[in-house]
Amino acid sequence: MDFSFLKRIGDRQEERHVSCLDAAQPSGMTRLVVFDLDGTLVDSKQDLANAANALVEELGGRRLSEDAVAEMVGEGAAVLVRRVLAGGHLDPGTPGALPRFLELYDARLVEHTRPYDGVVEMLEALHPRLPLAVLTNKPQAATERLLAALKLDRFFQQVVGGDTPLGRKPHPGGMTAIAGHAGVPIEATALVGDSPVDLETARRAGSRIVLVSYGFGFRPGKLRAGEQVVAEPSGIAAAL
C-alpha cells in the first residue's frame, strides 16, 4: 500500500522534530498529537450546512437547520450526504448526490469556516515541542485546501483524509499509520477530537484521547480512566 500521501504536507517540517522523537523521554509522555479537523480545529458548521442545503434544494427536498446538519457530520462525506438526503425527505441513495455535494462544498469551503478562538495560539505553543498531525474523515483534497487557506498547514507533519487507503475513523488504520510513520508508539500518541467517532478511534487504536467539549460533535458520555475532556483549546496542552 502506498503511504506517500502521509508525507505530502509535512516533509518540510520533519527535520525540526527529529530531536524530539529521538530524545529519551519518559514512557508516560505524549510524543505525537493527532488532531481531528471539523469541530476540533475549525468551526465549519455553517459552510457544511450551506452546502448540504444547496444539495437538498436542488433535489427538491426540505431544508435542514444548521444544527441538524452538524449532528450528521463526523463519519465522512458519503455518510453525511445519505443522512442529509433522508433528513430532507429525499432518497438517501440518489445517484450522483455525493459528487454533487462535494462540488457544492468545494465552492464554499472557507466562506465562513475559521479556526476556533485559541486554536492558532495552542498550535503555536505545541508545534515547537511535538510533531503534530491531522486525521479527519473529510476528503484529502478538501482537507489540504482548507488547511492551506487558513494557514494552518504549517503546523502539521502529516495530514490524512477520509478517502485515503487507510479508511475512515473509527477504523484505527489512520492513527496507527501516522504513529508508525512518525516512529512513535501508539500508546505515546494522543488523538484530540470532539466526537464519539474520535473517542472510538482512539480506543480501537490504543492511543490516548482528549475530547474538546466546544466542538459541534461533542456528546457527553462515560469515559474510561485516562480519557480527558477540555472546554477550551487553551486546555489541550495541559491535558497531554
Known catalytic residues are 36
SS (H, E, C) 167-183: CCCCCCHHHHHHHHHHC
SS (H, E, C) 21-61: HHCCCCCCCCCEEEECCECCCEECHHHHHHHHHHHHHHCCC
> Rounded to the nearest 10 degrees, what angle do helices 45-58 and 77-87 cross at?
60
Sign, CA torsion 141/202/222/40:
negative
What Å distances lie between residue 101 and 68, 85, 113, 234, CA to CA? 17, 11, 17, 34
